[in-house]
Structure 1
Amino acid sequence: MTLQFLNTTNLPNMLNTIISLATAFILGGLIGLERQYRQRTAGLRTNVLVALGAAIFVDIANNLSGADGAVRVIAYVVSGIGFLGAGVIMRQEGNIHGLNTAATLWCSAAIGAAAGSDLIVEAIVATAFILAANTLLRPLVNMIDRQPLDADSEVTHVIYLIAAKDHRKLVMYKLTEILHHFNYPLKDLDVEPFGDNDIEIEATLIASSIEPTEMNEIIQQLNLMPQVQQAYWDKNTMA
């Protein structure tokens, strides 16, 4: 009884399984490396595990029930990975974060399912397209996002600074320098008195869409300045 697995072990099938899992591991790793480099919530290990898990389930079904069994399992993988993807989607300050990461996890599962179904070439081609979507399209998306929206429904992002009046020029210079570094050009800059000794600087950006992580880094750098008492950002909708 303890050696029953020897009767069900098929060396060609075992070799086929190893190839499928190795493919899922490598291709999931390529996708995960790009996500890890971008410091996203789901990085290298998560994408590899998602691809491997999908490949294992599909490979088991394929060995036990053939193509029909694999198709049924793939359907469950597609729906099941949605719950995992939902865990990386967050809503913060009216913005939705993590949609791209969740979609990438979904794609990693698809890569694993293809590998588990012995569609190795298809899995490789699909990985190339996924990497292209996350890398080659990024500059195009950033360029489009930095264009102003239609004047009838323009969304603007505004940085607010409370700083000492005596250091007004230094703070404004540093602000424009940091924004230039992150490629966020200014649309308008307004300065108002804030009490007796301070001023409030309101910097409106041209960009209609921004990366929250970049904006948070900008605010962090501004708050580290000893001349700045407080810095934060918000978005306004102009209808």
Structure 2
Amino acid sequence: MSEHFELLDIYKAIISLIAGLILGFEREMKDKSAGLKTITIICLGSTLFSILSYKLAGTGDPTRIASYIVSGIGFLGAGVIFKEGFNVYGLTTAGIIWIAAAIGMSIGFGEIYIAFTFLISALIIIYVAKVLTKHLLAYHHNKILKFKISTDRFQAKKAIVKDIKNISKVGYQIALEKRDDFILVTMDLHITNKQLEDLEIYLIENENINSFNY
């Protein structure tokens, strides 16, 4: 009986390795901070903790040790998320770390079919969502617009923001900073290609705007 369980554990390790490699390969191809090695090790580690939790629990609750994986994996996920200006990067990688741990736990507890069902579901989301976004939202963009106005022309700011909102249809002022002799205005826009062209013409022709970028 002991040999049977040891052999079964080896099968779980191999299956977990395959699942981790599949998930990690996608991140590695995109040269993300958490790639093939990281995702695979997370999947294997989650499987090992689950196996140990199940074996060492005895008559106790086998999920008690494994439950710490859920909280612990959050620290790893947070490590790949970073903010640059008003943009946040690494959320998808953090999500893949999270699902890799969940899949590893499922394998460790012997729920192989559940593990691969969610593995396939995750891959479908990763690849199909990109295709849907490319075809359905190809002409829509989220832009962070920054433009400068001289301090002596600050009274024109309200009219400029209003005009930009009318052009983009969806736009919000999210920051206002005073720097030396100019005011920096930051806006979050959801805009189409055609609206973007109209906006650029407006920004270039407006004499109150010193410079802009997005």
TM-score normalised by length of structure 2: 0.66
Asked if residue 62 in structure 1 is aligned to residue 54 in structure 2, the reply is: yes
Alignment of 1:1-239 (within 5 A): 10-65=2-57, 69-142=61-134, 143-144=136-137, 146-147=139-140, 151-154=168-171, 185=193, 187-188=196-197, 189-190=200-201, 233-234=213-214
- Once the two structures are TM-superposed, the CA of residue 185 in structure 1 deviates from its matched residue by 4.6
What's the counterpart of residue 159 of structure 2? Answer: none
What is the one-letter code of the residue matched to 1:36?
E
CA distance in 2, matches of 1:104, 1:23: 17
Q: Deviations over 1:129-180 (max 9, x none)?
A: 111111111122344374268954337xxxxxxxxxxxxxxxxxxxxxxxxx
- 8 Å CA contact 1:89, 1:102 repeated in 2: yes
**Structure 1 residue 79, shift from structure 2 partner:** 0.9
Aligned equivalents of 2:60, 2:22: Cα separation in 1? 29
- CA gap 1:71/1:145 in 2 versus in 1, 3 angstroms: farther
Change (3 A) 1:120 1:85: same
CA contact (8 A) 1:35 1:42 kept: yes
Note closer, same or farther for the CA distance 1:192–1:141 as it changes in structure 2 (3 Å cut).
closer
Distance 1:17 1:66, change over 3 A: farther
Q: Which runs of 5+ in 2 are unaligned?
A: 143-164, 173-191
Q: CA RMSD in A?
A: 3.0
- What is the CA-CA distance between 1:21 and the residue it aligns to? 1.1
Cα distance in 2, alignment partners of residues 153 and 41 from structure 1: 33
User: In structure 2, do the counterparts of structure 1 residues 146 and 21 end up closer, same or farther at CA, with 3 Å as the change threshold?
Assistant: farther
Q: Deviations over 1:203-222 (max 9, x none)?
A: xxxxxxxxxxxxxxxxxxxx
Q: CA, structure 1 residues 89+67, in 2 after alignment: closer, same or farther (shift >3 Å)?
A: farther
Paired residue type of 1:124: F
5+ residue gaps in structure 1?
Answer: 1-8, 156-183, 194-199, 203-232, 235-239
Fraction of identical pairs, as percent: 28
Normalized against structure 1, the TM-score is what?
0.60
Note the alpha carbon deviations across 1:169-205, whole angstroms, 9 max, x for none: xxxxxxxxxxxxxxx9562244969xxxxxx997xxx
Q: Distance in 2 between matches of 1:43 and 1:36?
A: 4
How far apart are residue 61 of structure 1 and its match? 1.2
Alpha-carbon offset, residue 127 of structure 1: 0.6
8 Å CA contact retained: 2:53, 2:66? no
Task: Tell me if the contact between 1:148 and 1:154 (Cα under 8 Å) persists in the aligned partners.
Answer: no
- The amino acid of 1:10's aligned partner reads S
Contact (CA 8 Å) 2:53, 2:65: kept in 1 or not?
Answer: yes
Equivalent position SS for 1:136: helix
